[in-house]
Structure formats: C-alpha cells, structure tokens
Amino acid sequence: MKMLIFLFVLFFSFIMKAQDLHEDSAFVAKSFKELAILCKKVDFADPKVQKYGVFYNAAPFILYMGNDKKRAWKDFANYLREDEKKGVDEVCLKINQTVNQDPAYKIVQYITQTESEGTWHVLTITYIKKGVEKKAAFAFLKIGNRFGLGDVD
C-alpha cells in the first residue's frame, strides 16, 4: 500500500511539473513575441519615443545585467538610466538583425537549464536571413510572475 501511495505521489508530482513547464513555455514564447514586436514596430508618433528613446517599451522585457550584484539577473532594465538604455537598445537591435528579419520565424525548441542565477527558459528560434536558415537562442529568467530576456546567442 505504501508503494502505491508513493507511486501516486510521484506520478502526481510529475504531472504538476509537466503542467508548470507547459505553462512556462507558453508564457516565455508570449513574452518573446511581444518583445520582438516592440523592437520591430516603433511608433515614432509616440511622444515618449522622442522623450526617452526608440526602444523604451522593451525595457520591461529585458533583465538588468549590469554591475550591481543586488539587481543583476533579479530586476528588469530601467530605460531612464543611460547604461541600461544602451543595453536594451543593443538587445532590440540584435533581435531586429536576427529573427525580425523573417516574419515567419519559428520557435523550434524550448528547454530549461538551472544555473546560479535561477532556471533559464531557453527558446531556440529559426529564421531566414538573406535566403539562409539561421538559428538563435533567447534565454529568459522568471522574475516575479514575468519572464525577462537575459541572454541572446
């Protein structure tokens, strides 16, 4: 009987973990798609674009990766700070030079990997650039109830 209960608990835990992974993968993909749109479709009529900068809307999707150890990998970028603005702009330019070159890009893989910063949620995306299929990996960390992009390979 104890073995049956143990197997039931193990099975239930597996199902719950699989459900969490499925939900996380959907949220990561949604976050990536929103970020890619924000990087690609800048509304130059928006007065905040003139005031703050071209990619100010993307900052809430990108992790802070600076020297402040208390914030690194634990907070989102602050576009009002010049050094963080530069990082956000670089990420958006990288997205625009890769997957945003192909409106039919495809998310082909989702994996998780635990590192010292936490659990990375990695999307591998294929896209066509100048007639050649390319791949890029976008790694996200969960901060609170949102996912933030922390690395692009």
| pTM of structure | 0.84
Say how many C-beta atoms besides its own lie within 10 A of residue 62's C-beta: 27
User: Pseudo-torsion of CA 81, 82, 84, 88, nearest 10°?
Assistant: 120
Alpha-carbon gap, residue 35 to 33, rounded angstroms: 5
DSSP class of residue 1?
Answer: -
Q: pLDDT (tens digit, 9 = 90+) per residue, 49-87?
A: 999 999 999 999 999 999 999 999 999 999 999 999 999
Contacts of 59 (CB under 8 A, 6+ apart): 76, 77, 78, 79, 84, 85, 88
Taken in order of first residue, the domains within the chain and their CATH numbers are: 2-152 (3.10.450)
Amino acid making up residue 40: K
Q: pLDDT (tens digit, 9 = 90+) per residue, 103-132?
A: 999 999 999 999 999 999 999 999 999 999
